[in-house]
């Protein structure tokens, strides 16, 4: 339906009910007096051509929203739409350093790059690795966030304040800062993690380098990703849980529902939209993860640490095979589309009138 | 409530509190450890077993971090890029958000789809063509080029978030102003804008933080050392200093500081904005 949003009461608690600044106009209407729409400034309309004026005004009215969105549309088209098309074109061409600097048109390559990439075993290893990484990170993030959000409803107010404070502090940490901290925590010589694990009897982790083995290295990287992702997920889920009517849960409890049963059949259905939303968003973010790996491997990730984002970047900017990098990026975007469809559909459905 | 269930619920409350505090401690530990490492002398950093309480405090790591040749230039670049991105994206974004919140027009649905869909495109995937585009326009190694790129990646979110805030402002207020003789623009300026202020603050902080944190694009687009942002400085700092974790943690603290302060100011608004604007539609 193509209707504008109906006026709703303010959704944000901070929004004051009336205009806060002095001198702002307020509704002054005597009860019963007919509400007479006046023209702006109540100028008298020229009697000679009211029809033309009105047509002009209604044309202006019709054009207004388009004028308003024009700058956004133009900016998106120029700096996002054009590069997207360019990316697609590039993946069908053969752009190397030479064409980049001489400015000559790169030769046409057709589907060659796609054929090479898709028949390359290494590419599929990277795809599998990226998928596994995404599933593990999203799974861990959602599970942890859900538990934390549920926990936040049960704790004393001061504990909840502490939890929110910590979550926000973690949320505010720039990715590069978080990655630096985790690199230090997992340092081979003086890292706290090695020391902690060394306390477990029978384990010797002194001088253990976590990045020698990619599985362990990815465990650290997943640690940073999950640590950084939990706050957003937990706070959003907690907000969603706040919308579960207390009567609903009480009624179910009277009917004998307990614990997991209560959660599965009463609580979860209410918060499901938020869960779907956060899950799809996290999946999209984790699938395209780049910075954490880049920093933790000191700007030179080994082949064992390639995920799709890193792979495409290295092909383009380290090996200067821009077209191959572009083709990998196109494939990545196509793979992400699945997650994107889920996300957009959920938002539209929640928006109702959209 | 009978006594046994009361005892059980008190017991449950206690367990929940303990778990909540444990979780907070584990989550907060990396930040605590960063601060502690940044402020303690090197002997204490390289102490085995690690010492978990502050001993001597020193500012030597901060001095070393600030004394790196490009630090202030990088701060300047980060600030300029951040402010540029925020100002332009608010100017443009508010208009579009207003159109989305208040008008029904043909193509509105398509516009919403684009706004939402664009957020899904991974930044890293578009680096190559964006780089080529900006190099054609002569905007590589220029702060303006970076601002333009960030702008586009922030805009969808800005529009969507602000739309949520505008929808929350009753349209009757505007209508009343227009009945009383305001023009549409006047009504917007005098009624909507003051009420939108919290939304604008929240959105701008969010965009600022995003711009402050971004790494890859800045890394690719900005080649001269004195134009690079703090994120890049932090990474190069790390490699050039090897395992000088004191200096690195001091640098990390300095990089995180402005973001943390801003976040603390608006966290509630960003959270409700996300919940109402983006999440609830």
Asked if the C-beta of B92 comes within 8 angstroms of chain A's C-beta atoms, the answer is yes
Q: What percent of chain A has pLDDT over 70?
A: 84
Asked if the C-beta of A344 comes within 8 angstroms of chain B's C-beta atoms, the answer is yes
List beta partners, residue A93.
A108
Q: Which domains does chain A show, CATH number per domain?
A: 128-305+331-351 (1.10.3720.10)
pLDDT value at A6 more than 60: no
Q: What is the pLDDT, as a whole number, of residue A253?
A: 83
Q: Which alpha helices (DSSP H) does chain B contain, by range?
A: 3-39, 42-45, 60-66, 71-102, 108-118, 127-136, 143-167, 171-179, 184-187, 193-213, 216-221, 230-240, 245-273
- Give how far B256 is from chain A: nearest CA, Å: 6
Q: What is the pLDDT, as a whole number, of residue B239?
A: 64
pLDDT value at A78 more than 50: yes
Please give the backbone phi and psi of residue A93, each rounded to the nearest 5 degrees, phi first. -110, -175
Greater confidence (A46 vs B255) lies with B255
- Give how far A43 is from chain B: nearest CA, Å: 10
Q: Domain B62-279 carries which CATH code? A: 1.10.3720.10
pLDDT value at A44 more than 80: no
Q: What is the pLDDT, as a whole number, of residue B189?
A: 84
Q: What is the pLDDT, as a whole number, of residue A16?
A: 39
Name the stretches of chain B with pLDDT < 70: 1-8, 238-243, 266-281
pLDDT value at A46 more than 50: no
Interface of A with B in 111-130 (CB under 8 A): none
Question: Is this prediction's ipTM beyond 0.85?
Answer: no
Domain ranges of chain B: 3-58, 62-279
Please provide the DSSP assignment of A31-53 as one string: TT-------GGGPPPPSS-HHHH
pLDDT digits (tens, 9 = 90+) for A158-209: 998 889 889 988 988 888 889 889 988 988 888 888 888 888 887 777 788 8
Asked if the C-beta of A287 comes within 8 angstroms of chain B's C-beta atoms, the answer is yes
Mean pLDDT of the region A314-328 = 84
- Give how far B28 is from chain A: nearest CA, Å: 6
Mean pLDDT of the region A213-241 = 90
Greater confidence (B228 vs A14) lies with B228
Neighbouring C-beta atoms of residue A86, cutoff 10 Å: 18
Search chain B and give the residue with CA nearest A308. Answer: B125
Best probe of the A interface among B23, B33, B113, by most A CBs < 10 A, is: B23
Top mean pLDDT of A115-124, A330-339, B185-194 is at A115-124
* Interchain proximity A84–B49, CB inside 8 Å: no
- Give how far A238 is from chain B: nearest CA, Å: 10
Contact at 8 Å (CB) between A197 and A205? yes
Best probe of the A interface among B13, B28, B96, B125, by most A CBs < 10 A, is: B125
């Amino acid at each position: 339906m193509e209707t504008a949003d109906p006026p709703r009461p303010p959704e944000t608690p901070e929004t004051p009910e009336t205009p806060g600044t002095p001198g702002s106009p307020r509704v002054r209407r005597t009860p019963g007096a007919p509400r007479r729409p006046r023209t702006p400034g109540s100028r008298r309309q020229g009697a000679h051509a009211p029809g033309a004026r009105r047509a002009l005004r209604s044309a202006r009215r019709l054009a207004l929203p388009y004028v308003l969105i024009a700058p956004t549309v133009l900016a998106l088209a120029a700096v996002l739409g054009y590069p997207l098309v360019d990316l697609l074109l590039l993946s069908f061409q053969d752009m190397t350093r030479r064409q980049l600097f001489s400015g000559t048109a790169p030769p046409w390559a057709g589907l060659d790059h796609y054929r090479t990439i898709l028949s390359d075993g290494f590419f599929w290893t990277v795809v599998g690795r990226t998928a596994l990484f995404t599933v593990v990170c999203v799974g861990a993030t959602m599970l942890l966030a859900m538990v934390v959000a549920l926990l936040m409803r049960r704790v004393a107010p001061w504990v909840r304040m502490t939890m929110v404070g910590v979550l926000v502090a973690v949320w505010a940490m720039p990715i590069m800062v978080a990655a630096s901290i985790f690199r230090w925590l997992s340092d081979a010589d003086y890292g706290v993690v090695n020391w902690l694990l060394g306390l477990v009897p029978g384990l010797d982790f002194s001088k253990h380098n976590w990045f020698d083995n990619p599985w362990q290295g990815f465990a650290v990287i997943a640690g940073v990703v999950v640590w950084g992702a939990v706050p957003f997920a937990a706070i959003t889920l907690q907000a969603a849980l706040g919308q579960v009517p207390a009567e609903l849960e009480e009624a179910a409890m009277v009917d004998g529902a307990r614990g997991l049963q209560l959660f599965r059949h009463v609580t979860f259905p209410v918060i499901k939209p938020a869960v779907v939303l956060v899950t799809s968003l996290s999946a999209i973010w984790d699938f395209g993860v780049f910075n954490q790996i880049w920093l933790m491997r000191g700007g030179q990730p080994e082949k064992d640490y390639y995920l799709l984002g890193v792979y495409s970047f290295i092909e383009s900017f380290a090996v200067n095979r821009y077209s191959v990098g572009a083709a990998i990026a196109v494939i990545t975007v196509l793979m992400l589309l699945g997650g994107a469809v889920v996300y957009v559909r959920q938002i539209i459905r929640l928006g109702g009138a959209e | 409530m009978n006594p046994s269930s009361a005892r059980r619920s008190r017991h449950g409350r206690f367990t929940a509190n303990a778990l909540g505090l444990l979780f907070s401690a584990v989550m907060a530990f990396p930040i605590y450890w960063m601060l502690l490492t940044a402020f303690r002398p090197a002997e204490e950093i390289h102490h085995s077993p690690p010492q978990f309480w502050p001993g001597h405090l020193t500012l030597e790591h901060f001095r070393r971090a600030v004394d790196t040749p490009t630090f202030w230039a990088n701060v300047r670049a980060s600030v300029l890029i951040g402010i540029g991105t925020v100002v332009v994206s608010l100017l443009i974004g508010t208009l579009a958000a207003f159109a989305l919140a208040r008008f029904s027009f043909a193509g509105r649905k398509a516009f919403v789809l684009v706004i939402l869909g664009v957020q899904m495109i991974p930044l890293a995937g578009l680096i190559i063509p964006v780089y080529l585009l900006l190099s054609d326009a002569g905007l590589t190694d220029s702060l303006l080029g970076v601002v333009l790129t960030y702008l586009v990646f922030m805009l969808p979110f800005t529009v969507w978030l602000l739309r949520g805030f505008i929808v929350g402002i009753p349209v009757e207020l505007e209508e009343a102003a227009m009945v009383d003789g305001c023009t549409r623009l006047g009504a917007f300026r005098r009624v909507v804008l003051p009420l939108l202020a919290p939304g604008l603050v929240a959105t701008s902080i969010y965009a600022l933080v995003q711009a402050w944190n971004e790494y890859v694009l800045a890394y690719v687009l900005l080649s001269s050392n004195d134009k690079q942002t703090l994120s890049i400085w932090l990474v190069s700092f790390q490699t050039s200093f090897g395992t000088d974790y004191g200096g690195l943690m001091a640098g990390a603290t300095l990089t995180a500081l402005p973001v943390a302060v801003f976040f603390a100011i608006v966290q509630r608004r960003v959270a409700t904005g996300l919940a109402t604007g983006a999440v609830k539609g």
